[in-house]
Structure 1
Amino acid sequence: MEEWVGLKWHEYVTRQAMGEFPEHTVHLKDEARTLGVLFRALGGDPALSLVTAEPRHFQIRRRFVQKLAGTHRKFELAWRDEESLRLPEQLALFPSRKINRELYLWLAALASLGEIHHHSWLQGNQAMVQQLLGQWPGLEPMYQRLVRHTLHWRPRPDTLRGNEAEREKAIRQALIHPGSVTDLPDALTDPWPVVLWLYPILGRGKLKGQIIGDDNTQSKSGGLAKKRKRRRAERVDAFDKDQGIMLFRLESLFSWSEFIPVDRAGDDSEEDDAESVADDMDMISISMDRREASSAIKFDLDLPSEENDDLFLGPGIHLPEWDWRRQGFREKFCCLQPMLSREAVPSPLPERLKNPAQTLRRQFSALKPLRQWERRQREGEELDLDACLERVVQQRRGAGDMDQKLFRQCKQNQRDLACLVLADISLSTDTYINNNQRVIDIARDGLQLLSEALTASRDPFALFAFSSRRRDHIRFHHIKSFDEPYNDTSRGRIQALEPGYYTRMGAAIRQSTKLLQARPEHQKILLLLTDGKPNDLDLYEGRYGVEDTRMAVQEAHKAGLTPFCVTIDEEANEYLPYVFGSTNYVVIKDPTQLPAQLPKLYLNLTR
């Protein structure tokens, strides 16, 4: 009974202290698609992803009920950097769902103009508001509504003292008349957050603590990342597991939960509540003692010795890489190494694939070249009897100009296209989809069934796979070239594919583009199979990897190719439209259906 009363009291006090309107809450996940369209339509960087903002700590003057409830210490505020636009996870500040939604729209529109820096937070936001309203006057009524509600939400100057009151008056004036305030009076506390403005990048400048990078847990819809929040962190000495708890002073027991030794080198057990515990922590302590983890990672990712590795085909190929920060190429920056599997042995088609392969061969055989007679030709193998009869009739009628096309010729009705299939075999393909099937197993089956279908259609095709370990070692596995027949040797190479390393996608696409450019066919298709975003150890992650891959795809388009991506990545909708275009990719939601869906996708592409 006491616990129930305490819980109800806590809920009541918190609700009174928050001063929000839960019944009018608007969630970012519901508005993500609209905000993304608005942001890009107003000129925002299309490469930015929309993610939730993390709470910022403020030392503001709080009312008694707020102190009692422990609220108003952290606020989720809007900001953006070179990789993402960050907005509050939900908004319930105003007594209208429409106004809360308009706040999301306003912040997305304001962020389309750029990011704010520490030294120009006040003047920069006012200038951006003026610029936005000047470019899009239709936003003026919405802005005025938001200002009225924001002023009502903020503390009144007459409830504050000294410089705090003067500062609040200045902020109110800056909201009502943007550009009229040049500086804020100094005060002992922080100013009440301005929800209509952007804030500087969290972690830049002289802020307390350091910042841990984004984690990779993203949502499955709308391009909205669910838990990619930065954390305040501090470095601590190595945590000794042999130390007992009694070595700490007794008063430290109350802060014991704030120190969690994040050491996963020897214990990979699942902890269901680990994520929620991390979310509740204000500060995460990170130890520099990572000797066990680093040795384990080296064991997994170091390259094998030459005698145990696959066969190298030549000294390697140097390729450029696009650096979006410099807006230029780094010439000969990557080294792509063509390779041939040492362990591959000629193998027949697996028994489980024989029935679907037979069905595909029957379907695709209808696409193979057929011999057709072309009538009324000036020269050919045989006389066209119909044309000859018409010629005799014309002669007897005394026609002046008579048709000279009296022959027929048998020609090959050929599909003028070539396809190069490029498969991602990075370490992530070692993931199990179900209890007994990995992503790499599904990819192998898909490659074999697609190859059986293409062999039946007699379309020229080539098969390659890739992975990488930094820019100086991009592994480009040779499975089948355009000039090789598809036989047991090729099947054995497919079955010998094993996952490993990372995904430097741009270089693999550039090399595939070169191979396809050498083909004489009119239509050239580059079909990429992958299970995730481009990434590698040496900064080839995040926006850098996405931008380089996008540039490689654009180069393929300029070369006359048709790049198309098939992925099983559930978060692909966040980045693939930007990389490949909205119509040049497909997400297979059930990875086990990839082998059956791949030939159908190819058929739709080439019709």
Structure 2
Amino acid sequence: MEEWIGGIWDKVVRRAAHRGFPEAAVTLESMREVVGPYFRAVGGDAGVALKSGSAAAHGARRRWLERLAGTGERVDLAWQDAEALYLPDTVDTFAEPELNRELYLWLATLAAFSVGDDEPDGWIRNVRATRAVLDALPGWQGRYRRLVDACLTLRTPSASLPPDEAALERAVREQLQHPECNVPRPATKRPHWPVPLWLRPDRPPVVREAAGTPPGERETGGDGPREDDDNRRRFAAERVDMPKTENGMLLLFRAESIFTWSEYVRVNRPTEDDEDGDNALMRAKDMDKLSVARDGKSGKSRVRFDLDLPAADIDDTPLGPGIPLPEWDWRKQQLLPDYCRLEPLLPKAEPLAALPPELRAPAASLRRQFEALAPLPAWRGSSLQGEELDLDACLRFAADRLAGTVAEPGLWRERVPANRSLACLLLADLSLSTDTWVGQRRVIDVIRDSLFLFAEAMSATRDSFGLYGFSSVKRQHVRFQLLKDFSERYDATVRGRIAAIKPGFYTRMGAAIRHSTAILKEQPAERRLLLVLTDGKPNDVDHYEGRYGIEDTRHAVRAAREAGLTVFCVTVDRDAADYLPHLFGAQGCVVVKDANELPRLLPRLYVQMTKRF
């Protein structure tokens, strides 16, 4: 009974102490499709992702009710680094949802205008950015005033604070109301209460890779999809030495002195099978700063077994020793020559495979539709020979005879073949993330059906096409599966290869696009289309993740377009709006929200894209 009453009391006190308005809360997930494009439109770095940040301790004076409830020590503030823009997961600062939505947009605008400012003082940095926004975007003047007015009514009155803190609070209020001025700040023992209209004043530390760190230790997660937003959170961290644990039974401090989780709690999650995984994530959320240490174990021992390369006798058949390819290092702004090695592979499949029964009806329908796309033979007039007389040429000849200027007549019409000269390469992502489920089916099964129906539809036209798949295990093992070469006919052998595809490893997309570009450039066609089918962002087990992988892929796409190719991406990743326009352009990609619709939509998309060819 006491525990039950205590639980109720705790909830009541915490609710009363909370400064926000939960009933007016707005989530980042609901604003993601608006904030991301808006941030880039006002000048923000197009290469950064949009993620949820973690709360940080502020050290300001709390209200007595907050001290009673044990809350208010940490707040969510926005900040930005080279990888992402981090915004609060939920904003309930104001009593009106519209103001909370406006706050998301203001923070994104402020972040866009603060890029490149290396001023260490967060106060000065935020004032500069605010001034720049209001000068460059006059439409924000009135909206900023409304946010300031709403913010000031929620702050602690200066009259209830000690004299030094009261002077600082008055300076904060004056600075918010007059961003065009540089308001002096009095010195105080405590900082002011955080300003929700400003970015985080400090720059959260980022764990740097130590010299000699094995690539396998830089990432321990798989290539699977993110299950929730916790995987997009950014935690402040520091690199430390692993604490020694000899004499584990010797207690050198009083147990009652432990009040937090901040003393070397093991939150490493190398596999998906950790028994204490949920508790580890909970503890990580409660920490102000994560202490990250290397425990001396080999990175290979922490990678799951199903990511090992298969044995040669059961693996796909290699086609040659491998192809060296460059890779773009966005930090150095340099193309690293022969940095990757692509391995062309021929899938081991059962020959003479038939089309799955459930796909025969839609395949027949697609074939009938695509037969109409095949260019019909054309008539060429004024020929010296042909199948029938050209009446227009005959009339011109008769008029010329009457005028006395008769040349050798071409009075016939002949039938000539027509060809729109188009080559299409479909590049499918076969990484480990395709082993996940959408409804009652796996993503890899949806991709397989899409390849079947796309090939059936393309075989009904005269367009040349090739089908390839890719995955990777670090830079020396970029696997490139040949499903159908341009020189091959679509037949039972090709269907067998498609039926044999299975989830692979990681997604080193830049190398696969570069090799696909080289294949397409060799095709004797006037128009060349590279169609990329994926379910996630570029990623690999070494340093090829985050901004590095995105920028390398973007560089490969730009090189393909400079070579005269049309590049288009189709994805089933619901978070692709954060990064895909930066990779392929706003008009060069499409997100299929329901992955099960992909087999039906892919051929239709091809028709729409090639109408102008």
| Structure 2 match to 1:424 | 429
User: Once the two structures are superposed, what CA deviation does each residue of 1:70-104 show, in whole Å capped at 9, x if it has no partner?
Assistant: 23211111211112222223333345444444333
Amino acid at match of 2:589: Y
Q: CA deviation at 1:479?
A: 2.6
Once residues 213 and 98 of structure 1 are traced to their aligned partners in structure 2, the CA distance between those partners, rounded to angstroms, is 39
Q: CA deviation at 1:176?
A: 3.5
| Structure 2 match to 1:559 | 563
Once residues 393 and 108 of structure 2 are traced to their aligned partners in structure 1, the CA distance between those partners, rounded to angstroms, is 74
Bigger RCO (CA 8 Å, 6+ sep): 2
| Structure 2 match to 1:170 | 171
User: Once the two structures are superposed, what CA deviation does each residue of 1:296-330 show, in whole Å capped at 9, x if it has no partner?
Assistant: 62633333455554333333322222222333322
Once residues 87 and 163 of structure 1 are traced to their aligned partners in structure 2, the CA distance between those partners, rounded to angstroms, is 31
Once residues 493 and 47 of structure 2 are traced to their aligned partners in structure 1, the CA distance between those partners, rounded to angstroms, is 42
Identity of aligned residues (%): 43
Alignment of 1:81 onto 2:77: no
**Of 408, 415, 435, the match for 2:413:** 408
* Cα distance change on mapping 1:583 and 1:27 into 2, 3 Å: same
Amino acid at match of 1:42: V
* Cα distance change on mapping 1:492 and 1:270 into 2, 3 Å: farther
Q: CA deviation at 1:426?
A: 1.5
Query: Which SS does the other structure have where 1:268 is aligned?
Result: coil
Amino acid at match of 1:327: Q
Q: CA deviation at 1:441?
A: 3.2
Query: Which SS does the other structure have where 1:413 is aligned?
Result: coil
Query: Which SS does the other structure have where 2:544 is aligned?
Result: coil
Q: CA deviation at 1:477?
A: 2.0
Alignment of 1:492 onto 2:496: yes
Report if aligned partners of 1:51, 1:226 keep a CA contact under 8 Å in 2. no
Alignment of 1:316 onto 2:317: no
* Cα distance change on mapping 1:377 and 1:274 into 2, 3 Å: farther
| Structure 1 match to 2:144 | 143
Q: CA deviation at 1:533?
A: 0.9
Once residues 120 and 531 of structure 2 are traced to their aligned partners in structure 1, the CA distance between those partners, rounded to angstroms, is 48
Report if aligned partners of 1:133, 1:140 keep a CA contact under 8 Å in 2. yes
Q: CA deviation at 1:523?
A: 1.7
Report if aligned partners of 1:321, 1:548 keep a CA contact under 8 Å in 2. yes
Paired residues for 1:430-469 under 5 Å = 430-433=435-438, 437-469=441-473
Q: CA deviation at 1:60?
A: 1.7
* Cα distance change on mapping 1:431 and 1:189 into 2, 3 Å: same
Amino acid at match of 1:90: T
Report if aligned partners of 2:267, 2:281 keep a CA contact under 8 Å in 1. no
Once residues 139 and 454 of structure 2 are traced to their aligned partners in structure 1, the CA distance between those partners, rounded to angstroms, is 53
| Structure 2 match to 1:338 | 344
Query: Which SS does the other structure have where 2:524 is aligned?
Result: coil
| Structure 2 match to 1:209 | none
**Of 461, 473, 476, the match for 2:477:** 473
* Cα distance change on mapping 1:479 and 1:119 into 2, 3 Å: same
Once residues 68 and 538 of structure 1 are traced to their aligned partners in structure 2, the CA distance between those partners, rounded to angstroms, is 47
Report if aligned partners of 1:123, 1:179 keep a CA contact under 8 Å in 2. no
Query: Which SS does the other structure have where 1:475 is aligned?
Result: strand
Report if aligned partners of 1:503, 1:536 keep a CA contact under 8 Å in 2. yes
User: Once the two structures are superposed, what CA deviation does each residue of 1:542-571 show, in whole Å capped at 9, x if it has no partner?
Assistant: 122112212222222222222122222222
Report if aligned partners of 1:419, 1:462 keep a CA contact under 8 Å in 2. yes
Report if aligned partners of 2:389, 2:412 keep a CA contact under 8 Å in 1. yes
| Structure 1 match to 2:17 | 17
Once residues 253 and 79 of structure 2 are traced to their aligned partners in structure 1, the CA distance between those partners, rounded to angstroms, is 40
**Of 254, 257, 273, the match for 1:268:** 273
Report if aligned partners of 2:345, 2:481 keep a CA contact under 8 Å in 1. yes
Alignment of 1:325 onto 2:331: yes
* Cα distance change on mapping 1:32 and 1:365 into 2, 3 Å: closer
**Of 519, 534, 539, the match for 1:530:** 534
Report if aligned partners of 2:322, 2:341 keep a CA contact under 8 Å in 1. yes
Report if aligned partners of 2:206, 2:237 keep a CA contact under 8 Å in 1. no
Once residues 391 and 170 of structure 1 are traced to their aligned partners in structure 2, the CA distance between those partners, rounded to angstroms, is 91
| Structure 1 match to 2:546 | 542
| Structure 2 match to 1:295 | 301
User: Once the two structures are superposed, what CA deviation does each residue of 1:10-60 show, in whole Å capped at 9, x if it has no partner?
Assistant: 455444433444454444444434433432232111222333332111222
Report if aligned partners of 1:157, 1:168 keep a CA contact under 8 Å in 2. yes
Paired residues for 1:227-376 under 5 Å = 228-231=232-235, 251=256, 268=273, 277-278=282-283, 281-282=286-287, 294-295=300-301, 297=303, 299-304=305-310, 306=312, 309-341=315-347, 343-352=348-357, 353-374=359-380, 376=381
Once residues 388 and 144 of structure 1 are traced to their aligned partners in structure 2, the CA distance between those partners, rounded to angstroms, is 77
Once residues 133 and 139 of structure 1 are traced to their aligned partners in structure 2, the CA distance between those partners, rounded to angstroms, is 6
Once residues 295 and 143 of structure 1 are traced to their aligned partners in structure 2, the CA distance between those partners, rounded to angstroms, is 53
Amino acid at match of 1:133: L
